[in-house]
């Protein structure tokens, strides 16, 4: 009832919030609940890792290829500049 009033935007009195806080604190102190929460978080973490693993590899490969492309472009630019200096030293 308290959560329904909270989500509907109704004002909840301070004593009800204190009671709800104590209830949540009491629930989280239970070792079975802590184990269940750890298991859920572990499964969600594994799922997120499995989903993002491929994208991380794509980003790494893209960065390596981009670095090679920039390096080759700079090398070609320096070579062209050196050849231009040989033909016209006033550059």
pTM of the model: 0.49
pLDDT digits (tens, 9 = 90+) for 42-88: 999 999 999 999 999 999 999 999 999 999 999 999 999 888 888 87
- Tokens 């799922």 correspond to 47
User: Residue 61 has what pLDDT?
Assistant: 98
Q: For position 4, what pLDDT does the model report?
A: 54
- Domain borders along the chain are 13-87
What distance in Å separates the CA atoms of residue 16 and residue 6, rounded to the nearest whole number? 11
Contact 28, 34 (CB under 8 A): yes
Structure confidence by residue, pLDDT tens digits, 19-50: 888 888 888 888 888 899 899 999 999 999 99
Tell me which residue of 34, 72, 22 sits closest to 80, measured CA to CA.
72
Q: Is the pLDDT of residue 1 over 60?
A: no
């Amino acid at each position: 009832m308290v959560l329904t009033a909270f989500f509907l935007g109704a004002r909840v009195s301070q004593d009800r919030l204190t009671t709800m806080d104590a209830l949540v604190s009491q629930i989280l102190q239970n070792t079975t609940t802590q184990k269940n929460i750890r298991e859920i978080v572990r499964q969600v973490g594994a799922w997120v890792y499995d989903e993002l693993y491929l994208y991380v590899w794509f980003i790494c490969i893209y960065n390596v290829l981009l670095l090679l492309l920039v390096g080759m472009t700079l090398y070609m630019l320096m070579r062209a500049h050196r050849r231009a200096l040989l033909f016209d030293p006033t550059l």
